[in-house]
Amino acid sequence: MTTQVIVLNGGSSSGKSSLARGLQAVLPDPWLTFGVDDFVEALPAALQASDTGIAFSPEGAVSVGPAFRDLEAAWITGIAAMARAGARVIVDEVFLGGPESQGRWRQALGDLPVLWVGVRCDPVTAATREAARGDRTAGMAALQAELVHRGVTYDLEVDTTHTGWADCAHTIAGHVAAGRP
């Protein structure tokens, strides 16, 4: 079975975006990368910092409303359609809703061959990265580090706390090359 979609799930500042770019460099075929940050940036300003869209608390908690969920469903369906049309896709995601978030992706991706990858990072390390980036709400990385993995099932997990994105990318690429899962 040839993997068509790789879903990377991890908290903010866990290294998913660097890992996704690394995968594009080491995988033999061209892969497109789409991240939840791309989706949030594409939202109209009225839905950013909104109860119906997405809101970030001063402590780093994220809440989403019905308009966000409606557009997210379209986003997920669109990415699945690209994969069905033949594109190989890497998804950089944050499953704030745990298994419910994964379920939305599972439903949209259907019978496509998907490699589900948990991207773990120690909360302290993620918080340090978050502070160095300066473009995130303080506290978000620590809050999400474990939350996004609760109840989620994976084919493979990597930990970026002490392992660089390049080594993690090669581990994932090995799974893809071996036709796993």
Residues catalogued as catalytic: 37
Q: What distances in angstroms separate CA 46 from CA 40, 41, 51, 73, 172, one per listed residue?
A: 12, 12, 10, 18, 38
Peptide bond into 58 cis (omega under 30): no
- Parallel, antiparallel, or unpaired for β 5-9 and 88-93? parallel
Residue listed under structure tokens 């970026």: 160
